[in-house]
C-alpha cells in the first residue's frame, strides 16, 4: 500500500464507483439550480437526466468552487494517518479552485510539518481530467512514488487532449461564451462548434461545422491527427456527454472502428453538474493521449 493518496475534484467526471475502485479520493464542487444549492456529487443527490431536463426546461444554474475548509476536511484524516497527498485540480483556465487548494495545502503543511502535500493544476476538465487521474492511479499501482508521480503529471498533462462539440448553443449564449446573434445564426445554419483546450487549459473554439453528422466525424479526425502513434494509438480513450448518449455512442463507435489497438472499449461518462451547468445538454467531449497541446 502506498504512503500517499491521490485526490482530485468531482469535476474529473468519473463515476463514484470508478473513483472508489481506483482508490482516488475526491472533493465536491457546488452548484445552484433555481437558487437551491446542491453538491456536485457525481449524480448521487440529483440524477444527471433530471439535472439536464431541468436545464432544458429553463432552470437557472450557477456553480461555486471548493472552499479551503473543504480541502482540509478531505485531506486531514489521511494526513493524521501518516499519508502524504498528491492533489490535482480543475484547470486554472476555467476555475480558481487551484488557489483555494494551494491555500489549504499551506495550512495543512503548518499543521502537519512532517507530511508532504503537492497540488498540481491539471490544465484539464471533465473526463479528460479523469483520464489523467486514471493514468496516475495506474502509475501509482505500478510502484511510482509521490514525487516522481507529481513530476510525471507536470511533464505529461498537456499530452492529454480535450476535444468538445455541442449541438445546442443555448447555454453557450446564456453563459456569454458566444453572442446571442451568433447563437441565433448558428442555430439557423445548424452549426456545431468544435472546441478544444489549449496549453493554458482554456476552452477555445476551433472550427464551425455544419450538421451533427459532420462534427462527429471531425472530432474523430482530430484524434487521428493528434493521438500518440496515430491510428496505432494503444492508450485509453474516454468520452463524456451531457444528455446526448446516442451522439456519444456514435463517436465511440467510430473511434473503436478507426483505432483497433485501443486499450479496451471507449468509456462513456456523464458530464457532471459543474461543467454541465455551463455547457447545458448536447455536448460531447473526446479525450485521449497525444502530442503536446499548443496555443
Contact present, 205 and 95 (Cβ < 8 Å)? no
Determine the Cα angle at 43 with ends 140 and 30, to 5°: 85
For residue 156, with 0-12 CB atoms within 10 Å meaning exposed, 13-18 middle and 19 or more buried, which class applies? middle
- 137 has which bridge partners? none
49 phi and psi, to 5 degrees? Answer: -60, -40
pLDDT string in tens for the chain (295-residue length): 569 999 999 999 999 999 999 999 999 999 999 999 999 999 999 999 999 999 999 999 999 999 999 999 999 999 999 999 999 999 999 999 999 999 999 999 999 999 999 999 999 999 999 999 999 999 999 999 999 999 999 999 999 999 999 988 777 666 555 555 454 445 544 789 899 999 999 999 899 999 999 999 999 999 999 999 999 999 999 999 999 999 999 999 999 999 999 999 999 999 999 999 999 999 999 999 999 998 8
pLDDT reported for residue 7: 98
Contact present, 258 and 228 (Cβ < 8 Å)? no
217 phi and psi, to 5 degrees? Answer: -70, -35
pLDDT reported for residue 220: 98
Contact present, 123 and 157 (Cβ < 8 Å)? yes
Q: What is the largest CA-CA distance in the chain?
A: 61
Amino acid at each position: 500500500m502506498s504512503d500517499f493518496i491521490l485526490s482530485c475534484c468531482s469535476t474529473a467526471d468519473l463515476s463514484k464507483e470508478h473513483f472508489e475502485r481506483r482508490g482516488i479520493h475526491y472533493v465536491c464542487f457546488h452548484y445552484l439550480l433555481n437558487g437551491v444549492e446542491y453538491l456536485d456529487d457525481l449524480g448521487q443527490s440529483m440524477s444527471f437526466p433530471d439535472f439536464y431536463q431541468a436545464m432544458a426546461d429553463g432552470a437557472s444554474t450557477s456553480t461555486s468552487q471548493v472552499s479551503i475548509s473543504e480541502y482540509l476536511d478531505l485531506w486531514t484524516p489521511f494526513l493524521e494517518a501518516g499519508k502524504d497527498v498528491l492533489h490535482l485540480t480543475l484547470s486554472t483556465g476555467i476555475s480558481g479552485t487551484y488557489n483555494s487548494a494551494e491555500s489549504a495545502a499551506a495550512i495543512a503543511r503548518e499543521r502537519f510539518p512532517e507530511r508532504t502535500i503537492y497540488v498540481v493544476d491539471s490544465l484539464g476538465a471533465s473526463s479528460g481530467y479523469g483520464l489523467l487521474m486514471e493514468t496516475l492511479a495506474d502509475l501509482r499501482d505500478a510502484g511510482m512514488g509521490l514525487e516522481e508521480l507529481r513530476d510525471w503529471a507536470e511533464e505529461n498533462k498537456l499530452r492529454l487532449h480535450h476535444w468538445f462539440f455541442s449541438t445546442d448553443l443555448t447555454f453557450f449564449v446564456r453563459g456569454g461564451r458566444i453572442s446571442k446573434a451568433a447563437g441565433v445564426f448558428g442555430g439557423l445554419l445548424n452549426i456545431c462548434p468544435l472546441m478544444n483546450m489549449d496549453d493554458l487549459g482554456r476552452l477555445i473554439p476551433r472550427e464551425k461545422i455544419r450538421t451533427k453528422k459532420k462534427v462527429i466525424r471531425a472530432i474523430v479526425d482530430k484524434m487521428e491527427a493528434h493521438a500518440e502513434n496515430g491510428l496505432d494509438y494503444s492508450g485509453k480513450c474516454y468520452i463524456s456527454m451531457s444528455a446526448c448518449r446516442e451522439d456519444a455512442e456514435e463517436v465511440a463507435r467510430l473511434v473503436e472502428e478507426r483505432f483497433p489497438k485501443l486499450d479496451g472499449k471507449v468509456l462513456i461518462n456523464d458530464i457532471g453538474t459543474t461543467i454541465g451547468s455551463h455547457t447545458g445538454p448536447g455536448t460531447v467531449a473526446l479525450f485521449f493521449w497525444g502530442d503536446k497541446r499548443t496555443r
